[in-house]
């Protein structure tokens, strides 16, 4: 449970919200599972003060649901009687959702198991990594970037997805990169996404029309609270999908919805502040062209653990369709300065803003787990003072044979790599592998139309 002083602040937050929003009578309580989806329960808003004081119970198996929200055959919920975990509200997360038939409140919750943070909950995995740095008096400062597609809710004759129809022209969206008219023509849905973000205290930045037909990106600000940043990213994905539906569209964070279009990426920027608020990745005047040794060592950890980390960076079967040689997604263990074809890029450091950008992940990755494995890798590299080798100045388009590019191989690398198990814990490591293997098995047992076309 929250500490008494936090409980008091939480109760004040709830009571103030109720007083300021008399038109709202219901609240959706939400939390994120292993697959990166929110599950929720809806309550009368008047129940919230009691929950702020005492919390509530939720089945622990909810955190191990599959991608479609269905049970998958793992230990939890199948052989243990499906016990409850104790849920408690996340302070500062009470906001308004405005995309349904009426405004409702929304609040996140997290969980305890046997009186300790539930290690099977992705949010707690990230919290655990942040605490690793806290013991070193270091604070990760992070930002997420997410690409998504706007799609027509109607499939084509083959059952495949289609790019959204332009609401002003009636034509399919085009692929004009940074196209002004694309943003203008879809302004109704994009503007409401930004408005919904404001209602949920998500600070957005630039809006870009990306390389793919129907593909867009909305940037976020940097946060010195990596947990809050991941919270906002998960909430953003929910907002985009719900607002798109309100406008008669579908929004997809699928890694590769179209084979002939660029995939959706999740890029993560990380710098590191010390207890005085100074960025230790800044090499100072003596090293102002390369960043600090700590930055280089952090990249060394990212490089060494990348093969085992792919199970988090690319958690689904479709994830691996994104890794092609067209330089829209990295295909190698590589790093460099101002090079968008490498896995770990050091962007132009304006005013000493040195950071590393992890460009490996697909937008289908769970933001909590993707950031958790990124921080774990950086912590490992810094503690072991790992050397990443020479930076790459040229475009990298050859697949690295040591990096797995299918889910089964990625899970094998993850299970065989002891370092990540030490960071995440043996219980979580075993569960995550079992969870992804169960979904892989379920997917492979489905007969597609192509099998009839080829083999009937």
Check which CATH number belongs to the domain holding 208 and give it. 3.30.590.10
Residue pLDDT, tens place only, 207-241: 999 999 999 999 888 999 999 999 999 999 999 99
My answer on whether 207 and 66 are in the same domain is no
Give the pLDDT mean for 287-316: 93
Give the pLDDT mean for 141-157: 95
Residue pLDDT, tens place only, 439-455: 999 899 999 888 999 99
My answer on whether 166 and 99 are in the same domain is no
Residue pLDDT, tens place only, 27-58: 999 999 999 999 999 999 999 999 999 999 99
Residue pLDDT, tens place only, 355-372: 999 999 999 999 999 999
Give the pLDDT mean for 172-193: 91
| Opening angle at CA 354, ends 348 and 359, nearest 5 | 70
Give the pLDDT mean for 164-174: 93
Give the pLDDT mean for 378-404: 93
My answer on whether 234 and 371 are in the same domain is yes
Check which CATH number belongs to the domain holding 50 and give it. 3.10.20.70
What's residue 77's pLDDT?
A: 62
Of the chain, the percentage scoring pLDDT greater than 90 comes to 79
Question: What is the average pLDDT value for the chain, to the nearest integer?
Answer: 92
My answer on whether 231 and 299 are in the same domain is yes
- Give CB contacts under 8 A, 24+ apart, made by 383-389: 384/297, 384/300, 384/301, 385/293, 385/297, 385/300, 386/297, 386/300, 386/301, 386/303, 386/304, 387/296, 387/297, 387/300, 388/296, 388/299, 388/300, 388/302, 388/303, 388/335, 388/344, 389/303
Q: Is the pLDDT of residue 5 over 60?
A: no
Domain holding 98, by residue range, is 4-114
């Amino acid at each position: 449970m929250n500490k008494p002083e936090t409980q008091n602040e939480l109760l004040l937050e709830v009571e103030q919200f109720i007083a300021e929003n008399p038109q709202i009578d219901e609240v959706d309580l939400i939390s994120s599972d292993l697959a990166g989806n929110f599950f929720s329960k809806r309550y009368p808003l008047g129940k919230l003060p009691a929950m702020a004081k005492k919390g509530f119970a939720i089945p622990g198996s909810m955190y191990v649901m599959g991608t479609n929200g269905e049970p998958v055959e793992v230990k939890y919920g199948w052989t243990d009687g499906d016990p409850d975990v104790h849920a408690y509200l996340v302070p500062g997360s009470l906001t308004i959702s405005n995309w349904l038939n009426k405004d409702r409140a929304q609040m996140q919750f997290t969980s305890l198991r046997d009186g300790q943070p539930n290690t099977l909950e992705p949010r707690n995995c990230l919290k655990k990594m942040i605490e690793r740095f806290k013991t070193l008096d270091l604070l990760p400062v992070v930002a997420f970037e997410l690409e998504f597609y706007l799609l027509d809710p109607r499939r084509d004759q083959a059952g495949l997805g289609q790019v959204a129809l332009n609401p002003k022209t009636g034509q399919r969206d085009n692929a004009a990169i940074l196209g002004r008219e694309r943003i203008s023509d879809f302004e109704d849905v994009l503007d409401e996404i930004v408005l919904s973000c404001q209602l949920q205290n998500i600070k957005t930045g630039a809006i870009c029309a990306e390389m793919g037909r129907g593909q867009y990106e909305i940037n976020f600000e940097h946060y010195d609270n990596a947990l809050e940043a991941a919270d906002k990213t998960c909430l953003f994905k929910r907002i985009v999908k719900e607002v798109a539906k309100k406008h008669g569209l579908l929004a997809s964070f699928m890694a590769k919805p179209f084979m002939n279009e660029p995939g959706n990426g999740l890029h993560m920027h990380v710098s590191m502040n010390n207890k005085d608020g100074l960025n230790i990745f800044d090499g100072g005047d003596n090293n102002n062209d390369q960043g600090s040794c700590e930055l280089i060592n952090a990249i060394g950890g990212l490089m060494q653990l990348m093969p085992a980390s792919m199970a988090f960076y690319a958690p689904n079967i479709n994830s691996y369709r994104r890794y092609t040689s067209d330089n829209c997604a990295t295909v190698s263990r590589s790093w460099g300065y101002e090079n968008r074809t490498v896995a770990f890029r050091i962007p132009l450091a304006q005013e000493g803003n040195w950071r590393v950008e992890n460009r490996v992940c697909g937008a289908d990755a769970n933001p909590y787990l993707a950031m958790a494995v990124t921080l774990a890798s950086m912590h490992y590299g810094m503690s072991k003072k790992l050397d990443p080798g020479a930076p790459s100045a040229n475009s990298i388009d050859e697949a690295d044979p040591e990096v797995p590019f299918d889910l089964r191989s990625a899970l094998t690398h993850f299970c065989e790599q002891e370092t990540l198990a030490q960071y995440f814990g043996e219980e979580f490591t075993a569960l995550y592998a079992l969870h992804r293997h169960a979904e892989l098995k379920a997917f492979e047992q489905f007969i597609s139309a192509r099998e009839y076309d080829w083999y009937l």
